[in-house]
Structure 1
Amino acid sequence: MSPETDQPADSGAKTGTDKTRDHFNRLTKGFPALMADTAACIRFFSRLPLPKVNAQDDPAAAPDFARISRAAPIAGVAVALPAAGLGMLLGYTALPVLAIAALIVVMLAVTTGALHEDGLSDVADGFFGGSTPQKRLEIMKDSRIGAFGALALVLSVVLKIALLAELWQRFDPADAALLLLGGEAASRAFIVWQWQQHPLARPDGLAARFGKPDKTCVRQAFLFTVPFLLPAAFLLSLPGFLLACLLPAALAFGIGQLADQKIGGVSGDILGAIQQICALGFLLGMLMVP
């Protein structure tokens, strides 16, 4: 008998059980790294105190967004959980939905330190208050808020309160909270997408110092967003779900293109503005149809 025929039948190829075991092993080995990346994103994008989560997590290390940005949607959900939980609990009380929506917006700003709102106001001031790319970047770097930035903040807050009030009016509070979390996850995925798609406007900015996501990070970010969108897929009509996904995507793309024209790329402020506008776009899309 030849040596080849003397080998076991399954020695040259893995069985289905072996392949499943390999997939599971890769998943379990990668889970601690994903937890560490999520923790790093939460610390950077919020004011939530978070201790070391595992051996791969180093709270003192500078964030490496070339790797950890993939976890931005998961971190977005974690950061929005206090606001969603508050809204769910208050939804079962006799409080008016406008009051509930206002408190949700306040809680979202508290947990993030109004980081993304600050980016939105800076972009509005810079884009509409400067005449050259350099001047726009200087205005965006200025910590003072101008008329355009103030107007953008007021409009975004008023619109978000109105949309959240309608969301809590139209759906059960628990379902409304899940839909809110889906929008927060999706808005972070769109950040990662546009971050990867465009050059960096500031060579010395935070985005340049802490790395930039690649296409693999973008794919993973959208993959991690899918579970958080499942409630929307079941709770919304098909047109509502499609609009909730497509409208923020179009808005993110448009902001990226505008940023290229205005300042030659993206910056931290642009990414914050994308998050705010895409979160609004998600709410707008789902509520446009019955």
Structure 2
Amino acid sequence: MNRAGVRRRAAVEARLFGLAVGFLTRLPVPGGRADEGQMASCRRYFGLVGLLLGLLATLFYTVISNVLPIWVAATATLTLLIILTGGLHEDGLADTADGIGGGWTAERRLEIMKDSRLGSYGALALICAFALRLGLLVTLAAEPGAIAAGLILGASLSRIAATSMISLLPYARLEQSKVVALSAAQSRFDLCLLIGSGVLFALLLSGFFSTLLLLLALAALLALLRQWFKRRIGGFTGDTLGATQQGAEILIYLVLAIRLGGT
């Protein structure tokens, strides 16, 4: 490939990364419309966007933990992540809990999940998820390197896990939404790049054994959620992807906390 070709390819990849950042966060990125092919291809960078969020959260925690108690610093760090993402995944968790908890049929569950109002199941899910994340982060804070690994891997691997769910289930809704553009079949290269980036991040930050435990735990979680979502609503929606991300993030913190307790 000549120099001009390299520049064109770099521009394309930068565009895809920008689309991934714009989709998953509130960070300012250049605008512009994207076709379905570009939206599907930008999924390869969702783990990298998570890495970026994790690095920002780690930097923020490192600074404020020097002047604030650990509980306050951890709470502020989780709040920062919510602000950076606009509560995208938390909203999905709440809607999923309301829909699956309050509906008796797949159609009714999907209908409830579209309702913007927060129900009791959603509120409880948000409270429990935030409390679990906070408690586990405080546990990881006993070792500076552990909380850094938790924030970075929690942000990156959880988004890789949620994105992988798209390849495991059909889209459950008939009507169009912004998630439909992401649900197109993913190429083998994109899927390998997505998962491979997560494995690389984990190996660098937590070592071989912890990486193996994380991958096994996440694979088990995806298998369970795949069957649950398939039975309850017939596939995935944007909300269930958010719920998957939240569950995966908690699981990652838990695995690392258990490893910390065993060292």
Q: TM-score, normalised by structure 1?
A: 0.80
Paired-residue identity, %? 31
Distance 2:83 2:138 in 1: 19
Contact 1:243–1:286 under 8 Å retained in 2: no
Q: 1:30 deviation in Å?
A: 4.4
Against the structure 1 CA distance between its residues 102 and 167, is the aligned structure 2 distance closer, same or farther, given a 3 Å change threshold? same
Q: 1:280 and 2:254 equivalent?
A: no
Q: 1:94 deviation in Å?
A: 4.5
1:124-203 matches, cutoff 5 A? 124-172=97-145, 176-203=147-174
Bigger helix fraction:
2
Indicate the SS of the match to 1:199. coil
Contact 1:42–1:79 under 8 Å retained in 2: no
Higher relative contact order (CA 8 A, sep 6+): 2
1:117 is aligned with what amino acid?
E
1:71 is aligned with what amino acid?
Y
1:201 is aligned with what amino acid?
A
Q: 1:252 and 2:188 equivalent?
A: no
Partner residue of 2:71 out of 93, 98, 114: 98
Indicate the SS of the match to 1:206. coil
Aligned partner of 2:19 in structure 1 is 40
Contact 1:125–1:149 under 8 Å retained in 2: yes
Q: 1:128 deviation in Å?
A: 1.1
Q: 1:62 and 2:41 equivalent?
A: no
Contact 2:150–2:252 under 8 Å retained in 1: no
Distance 1:138 1:263 in 2: 10
Structure number with bigger Rg: 1
Contact 1:66–1:214 under 8 Å retained in 2: yes
Provide the aligned length of Structure 1 versus Structure 2. 255
Q: 1:211 deviation in Å?
A: 4.4
Q: Which runs of 5+ in 1 are unaligned?
A: 1-21, 52-58
Q: 1:101 deviation in Å?
A: 1.0
Contact 1:69–1:213 under 8 Å retained in 2: no
Distance 2:54 2:184 in 1: 24
Query: How large is the RMSD of aligned CA atoms in angstroms?
Result: 2.3
Q: 1:210 deviation in Å?
A: 4.8
Distance 1:147 1:39 in 2: 36
Partner residue of 1:206 out of 153, 156, 178: 178
1:269 is aligned with what amino acid?
D
Contact 1:82–1:107 under 8 Å retained in 2: no
Distance 1:100 1:278 in 2: 22
1:66 is aligned with what amino acid?
A
Contact 2:199–2:211 under 8 Å retained in 1: no
1:47 is aligned with what amino acid?
R
